[in-house]
Amino acid sequence: NAGVTQTPKFRVLKTGQSMTLLCAQDMNHEYMYWYRQDPGMGLRLIHYSVGEGTTAKGEVPDGYNVSRLKKQNFLLGLESAAPSQTSVYFCASRSGQVVNQPQHFGDGTRLSIL
């Protein structure tokens, strides 16, 4: 049971390059989330999805786009990477069938923008 899998685990980009981070979950969860974690800032929500084909903005959505074409996958895109997007990115998912279920997190993606 893999749980929540993020790819890649590490990436270095140059300013202006684009890339997509993939999050895959095998728990049939309805809700999926993308967060970024920066020193002293805690976890901040970028975008989230409450089901296949739906997405919504979180706390810090600027500079990012997302897609949820399949229930098990949630993609986070950076169209034109900026140094301010250097961070550790975490994906999470949780069931929408039962109230107050915990979120399950991936291992994170460390992204550096030069």
84 is a site residue for another protein (CB under 8 A):
no
SS3 assignment, position 83: helix
Q: Should residue 103 be labelled a site residue for another protein when binding is judged by CB under 8 A?
A: yes
| Residue 102 in contact with another protein, rule: CB under 8 A | yes
Can residue 39 be called a binding residue for another protein (CB under 8 A)?
Answer: no
Nearer to another protein, 17 or 52 (CB): 52
With H, G, I as helix, E, B as strand and everything else as coil, classify residue 93.
strand
The CA-atom distances, in angstroms, between 53 and each of 16, 31, 94, 111 are: 28, 11, 16, 26
The reply on whether position 74 binds another protein by CB under 8 A is no
d(CA 20, CA 13): 11
Instruction: Tell me how far, at minimum, the Cβ of 81 lies from another protein, in Å.
Output: 22
38 binds another protein (CB under 8 A): no
The phi-psi region of residue 9 (left if phi > 0; otherwise alpha if psi is between -120 and 50; otherwise beta) is: alpha
φ/ψ of residue 97, rounded to 5: -85, -25
For another protein, the binding residue among 80, 101, 112, 114 (CB under 8 A) is 101
Positions that interact with another protein (CB under 8 A)? 31, 33, 40, 42-45, 48, 50, 58, 90, 92, 96, 99-108
